[in-house]
Amino acid sequence: MRVIFMGTPDFAVPTLDAIVEAGHEVVLVVAQPDKPAGRGKKLKAPPVAVRAKELGLPLAQPRALRRGPFPERFVGLEADVAVVIAYGRILPDRLLESPRLGCINVHASLLPRWRGAAPIQWAILEEDATTGVCVQQMEPTLDTGPVFVQRELALDPDETAGTLHDKLMVLGAEAAVETLATMEGTTPVPQADTGDTYASKIDKSMGKVDWAEPARRVHARVRAMTPWPGGWIPWRKGPLKLREIRLADGSGAPGEVLSLSPLVVACGDGALELVRVQAPGRRPVDGAAFANGARLEVGAPLTAE
């Protein structure tokens, strides 16, 4: 097939590779424009753009999808299908309708659950037992299209957004190639009328931990926000980042230090071991080393004071 591929972050790279390896003709790769990064704010190309150049594929990084030369170029390619995965922008109707078979999207959830921008984080945050990927026929409305292929995956008890991201990007590549091989002559299955949820964007404030919550919920929050923005609590000169935590035995007032080595803190119900933490301006250390350096005391609260 003649394929236009649209994606931006590293999550999309395995799917691009898989489509090329399957023998499809990628007539154009579309990624977001380069953005400033690092202390020097030098322009940095997104992972999909880097990979397209490595593969010698034609690349476009348009700032506008509705005007300028890009829409004409897109339509003029007369592609069979466009494969969209984590591109990061909504496609206008003209682009959706241009390829012979339309546009398909690889989405990191079991639709209609977790439509939207951050399905990986929300599946962990809400303690879902399973998640997966869906390849849907794209429609003008967000993540509502009928599904060609669905792959399901059980969530491990200690799953983080980072580990789940890596698993689902592999599943997504497999599902995309399967869809391209079978979609002609296949009728996609409409999504269920019930059970839809929306995965809003993640921001830094969502990593803030409230010790009054049950340990199970705090554990889910920190895992959902790892690696970004990370779980954290207010500390003396900035956020104390909870790099790794696990459920532990014990009870006490929310935020009370129950043990120093290992460092265990009480929650509203149950307790958590702080396995690795990072103080402001410092490197990550194990909980016991932090407790020693910060002169924590058993029975005292772990707070910014």
With a cut of 60, say whether residue 86 has pLDDT above it. yes
Cβ atoms of 229 and 207 closer than 8 Å = yes
With a cut of 80, say whether residue 305 has pLDDT above it. no
With a cut of 80, say whether residue 76 has pLDDT above it. yes
DSSP-assigned states of every residue in 287-304: HHHHHHHTT--TTSB-S-
Q: What is the pLDDT of residue 39?
A: 80
Asked whether the CA dihedral 181, 182, 183, 189 is positive or negative, the reply is negative
With a cut of 60, say whether residue 56 has pLDDT above it. yes
Question: For residue range 94-142, what is the model confidence (pLDDT) as tens digits?
Answer: 999 999 999 999 999 999 999 999 999 999 999 999 999 999 999 999 9
Question: For residue range 268-300, what is the model confidence (pLDDT) as tens digits?
Answer: 999 999 999 999 999 999 999 999 999 999 999
Angstrom distance (rounded) from CA 75 to CA 58? 15
Q: What is the pLDDT of residue 213?
A: 97
Residue 282's contacts (CB-CB under 8 Å, 6 or more residues apart) are none
The full set of domains in the chain, from first to last, is 2-198 (3.40.50.170), 204-293 (3.10.25.10)
Angstrom distance (rounded) from CA 55 to CA 50? 9
Confidence of residue 40 (pLDDT cuts 50, 70, 90): confident
With a cut of 60, say whether residue 146 has pLDDT above it. yes
Residues written for the chain: 305
DSSP-assigned states of every residue in 103-129: EEEEESSSTTTTEES-HHHHHHHTT-S
Angstrom distance (rounded) from CA 26 to CA 179? 16
With a cut of 90, say whether residue 227 has pLDDT above it. yes
Q: What is the pLDDT of residue 144?
A: 97
Question: For residue range 234-266, what is the model confidence (pLDDT) as tens digits?
Answer: 998 899 999 999 999 999 999 999 999 999 999
Angstrom distance (rounded) from CA 68 to CA 189? 36
> By three-state DSSP, how is residue 47 classified?
helix
Q: Which residues are paired to 107 by β-bridges?
A: 134
Q: What is the pLDDT of residue 218?
A: 98
B/e letters for 148-171, b = 16+ CB within 10 Å, e = fewer, are bbbbebebeeebbbebbbebbbeb
With a cut of 60, say whether residue 162 has pLDDT above it. yes
Question: For residue range 167-205, what is the model confidence (pLDDT) as tens digits?
Answer: 999 999 999 999 999 999 999 999 999 999 999 999 999
Angle between helices 13-21 and 47-55 (to 10 degrees): 20
For residues 18-32, average pLDDT: 98
Q: What is the pLDDT of residue 304?
A: 66
Confidence of residue 303 (pLDDT cuts 50, 70, 90): confident
pTM above 0.75, yes or no: yes
For residues 10-38, average pLDDT: 96
Long-range contacts of 255-258 (CB under 8 A, 24+ apart): 255/211, 255/212, 255/301, 255/302, 255/303, 256/299, 256/300, 256/301, 256/302, 257/291, 257/296, 257/297, 257/298, 257/299, 257/300, 257/301, 257/302, 258/298
Percent residues over pLDDT 90 in the chain: 96
